[in-house]
A and B are shown apart, each in its own frame.
Chain A
Amino acid sequence: MNLPEPARTAVETFGTSLSWEQRARLLMQWGDRLPAMADDEKTDEHLVDGCESKVWLLADVIDGHWQFRAASDARLIRGLVALLLARVNGLSAQDLEQVDLPDWFNQLGLSRHLSPSRSNGLNAVLQKMRQLAG
């Protein structure tokens, strides 16, 4: 499957060998570049259940292509969520079903650096995306 443009950039950026500091800095940069979410959008209804830290998720659809916006109160989580958005934004509901989360973070060279609780959290975000698009 062809990766969306931002996803290819992500693979180029993270797919090289990085020190943990470089990785952390990049994650924070990606997180900081997420478009801000207004405070009144950060409602309980938009919270993703099953994350250790708070993650809010909003979805829009244009011509069958889903666009998600997300925010988190933790910076590195925000970065990880940004990497997930890079992979899924612009997909159809059908393509969204095909997204393989472990494979994606593996392509980014990040799977070894994700704790079980972090992976579960990201999985919860993806599930909520599918639910919103479903």
Chain B
Amino acid sequence: MSLISPWRADFPALDALERQGQTYLDSAATAQKPQALIDALAHYYANGAANVHRAQHLPGALATQAFEDTRHKAAEWLHAGACGQVVFTHGATSAFNLLACGLEHLFQTGDEIVISALEHHANLLPWQQLAKRRGLKLVVLPLTAQGVIDLDAARNLIGSRTRLLAVSQLSNVLGTWQPVAPLIALAKAHGAFTVIDGAQGVVHGRHDVQALDCDFYVFSSHKLYGPDGVGVLFGRHQALAQLRPWQFGGEMVLQTDYHHATFRPAPLGFEAGTPPVSGVIGLGATLDYLNDVNHLAAAEHEANLHALLRAGLVLREGVQLVGEPEVALVSFVIDGVHNADLAHLLTEQGIAVRAGHHCAIPLINTLGLSGAIRVSLGIYNDSDDLERFFNALDQALELLR
């Protein structure tokens, strides 16, 4: 079966990578960029860069307009409606750090923060360190054998001491959708804040933060085919109002003398200093592009590719999939073969996949692994990419065995 991506031609890097003999299967780490984004960046820089919000001149007004337009587009992408707004950060990681600092004053010794066993370091370490600073308990929700957060266990672990729940929507290692809606409901029933790590989830399917009912939803532009250096933090109005500023400087201040200051509310109060103007404008162009992509067709293409990937892997002797991946990516190990050796030989053959712990060391240890190889997909991949991967895999295994 040949699966052709009608979107591949929209991403010039795919051609360029092919000319360099590279097959890109690492989109979960970062995605390639559509021509529409490249054009928007070139246009912005070629037609007049300017700082946003503070300038009185025309270039400043145009940049501010494009910047604020992206804020609306990002909110629309998440179906935020009127329930909240978007704060721009420098990435998902900085958004989690913002939250862990901005909410710190609300925690008291003995309060509990609930995360899950599969969290990326970005949604683990800021909470772990906050817990250390404030004498809080970090509660880790266990997983089922399928690689999904165990809801039964969660019912017992989320309780009256829970002040915050922070979980991933889609695992970057296991490729499994997580039951975020029931988890959010459980946490809300106890009056806890809810934070969703949408870094992977946002790339696969459209989500609705109103229906999810979370307080915060976080993602990185660069995984959603946008520029790097930009993160999106959606927050509900009531939740944003409880955040304290975490970084101080230009733009976020209302009034100051040498000794005292007052600060702006969200979003600007959390965007100290010059934001990534070009990146945000580029994200806007990417979202325009993605809005023109037929979502059903894209989801179907991704699902077909994923099925092909899974089926091809399990056909091969000794392959063990990590969990029961549902979309976007498959992680695997091979009996008797060190994943560093396999990664080396795949790299030698121009296959760009990810090997190692995938920034989730506690999860990899919990699974009893020393690492895994992850193959991840974007809308531009096609069945030829997978065929090249499988050929390379077979060659590598022949050499290693």
By a beta-carbon cutoff of 8 Å, the part of chain A in contact with chain B is: 20-21, 23-25, 28, 52-54, 73-77, 113, 115, 117-118
Given A24-B399, A25-B399, A74-B340, A115 and B347 contact (CB-CB distance below 8 Å):
yes
Complex Cα distance A76/B400, Å? 10
Within the complex, what minimum Cβ distance (angstroms) separates A105 from chain B? Answer: 14
User: Would you give 8 A-B contacts (Cβ < 8 Å), ordered by A?
Assistant: A21-B395, A53-B371, A54-B370, A73-B338, A73-B370, A75-B341, A75-B400, A113-B348
- Within 8 Å of chain A (Cβ to Cβ): is B355? yes
Task: Give which listed residue, A25, A74, A113, contacts B338 with CB less than 8 A.
Answer: A74
**Most B C-beta atoms less than 10 A away, residue of A25, A54, A113, A115:** A115
Q: Which residues of B, 354-396, contact A by the 8 Å Cβ criterion? A: 355-356, 370-371, 395
- Within 8 Å of chain A (Cβ to Cβ): is B134? no
Given A21-B399, A24-B399, A25-B399, A76 and B356 contact (CB-CB distance below 8 Å):
no
Complex Cα distance A75/B399, Å? 11
Q: Which residues of B contact A115 (CB under 8 A)?
A: 343-344, 347
Q: Are B348 and A53 in contact (CB under 8 A)?
A: no
Within the complex, what minimum Cβ distance (angstroms) separates B355 from chain A? Answer: 7
Q: Which residues of B contact A76 (CB under 8 A)?
A: 340-341, 344-345
- Within 8 Å of chain A (Cβ to Cβ): is B22? no
Q: Are A20 and B348 in contact (CB under 8 A)?
A: yes
Complex Cα distance A28/B345, Å? 12
- Within 8 Å of chain A (Cβ to Cβ): is B30? no
- Within 8 Å of chain A (Cβ to Cβ): is B304? no
Q: Are B347 and A74 in contact (CB under 8 A)?
A: no
Q: Which residues of A contact B341 (CB under 8 A)?
A: 74-77
Task: Give which listed residue, A24, A25, A52, A113, contacts B340 with CB less than 8 A.
Answer: A52
Q: Are A24 and B345 in contact (CB under 8 A)?
A: yes
Complex Cα distance A21/B397, Å? 11
| 8 closest cross-chain pairs (CB), A and B | A74-B340, A53-B340, A74-B338, A20-B348, A76-B344, A76-B341, A74-B341, A75-B341
Complex Cα distance A76/B349, Å? 15
By a beta-carbon cutoff of 8 Å, the part of chain B in contact with chain A is: 338, 340-341, 343-345, 347-349, 355-356, 370-371, 395, 399-400
Q: Which residues of B contact A113 (CB under 8 A)?
A: 347-348
**Most B C-beta atoms less than 10 A away, residue of A23, A52, A77, A118:** A52
Q: Are B371 and A52 in contact (CB under 8 A)?
A: yes
Q: Are A117 and B356 in contact (CB under 8 A)?
A: yes
Q: Which residues of A contact B399 (CB under 8 A)?
A: 21, 24-25, 28
Given A52-B355, A117-B356, A77 and B348 contact (CB-CB distance below 8 Å):
no
Within the complex, what minimum Cβ distance (angstroms) separates B295 from chain A? Answer: 35
Within the complex, what minimum Cβ distance (angstroms) separates A132 from chain B? Answer: 23
Complex Cα distance A76/B348, Å? 12
Q: Which residues of A contact B347 (CB under 8 A)?
A: 113, 115
Complex Cα distance A123/B343, Å? 19
Q: Which residues of A contact B348 (CB under 8 A)?
A: 20, 23-24, 113
Within the complex, what minimum Cβ distance (angstroms) separates A82 from chain B? Answer: 14
Complex Cα distance A53/B337, Å? 12
Q: Which residues of A contact B345 (CB under 8 A)?
A: 20, 24, 76
Within the complex, what minimum Cβ distance (angstroms) separates A18 from chain B? Answer: 11
Q: Which residues of B contact A75 (CB under 8 A)?
A: 338, 341, 400
Given contacts A52-B371, A75-B400, 15 further A-B contacts (CB under 8 A): A20-B345, A21-B395, A21-B399, A24-B348, A52-B340, A52-B356, A53-B370, A74-B340, A75-B338, A75-B341, A76-B340, A76-B344, A115-B347, A117-B356, A118-B344
Complex Cα distance A69/B349, Å? 30
Complex Cα distance A21/B343, Å? 14
Within the complex, what minimum Cβ distance (angstroms) separates B358 from chain A? Answer: 12
Closest-by-CB residue of A relative to B357 is: A52
Q: Which residues of A contact B371 (CB under 8 A)?
A: 52-53
Within the complex, what minimum Cβ distance (angstroms) separates A75 from chain B? Answer: 5
Within the complex, what minimum Cβ distance (angstroms) separates A42 from chain B? Answer: 14
Closest-by-CB residue of B relative to A77 is: B340
Complex Cα distance A113/B345, Å? 10
Q: Which residues of B contact A20 (CB under 8 A)?
A: 345, 348-349
Q: Which residues of B contact A54 (CB under 8 A)?
A: 370
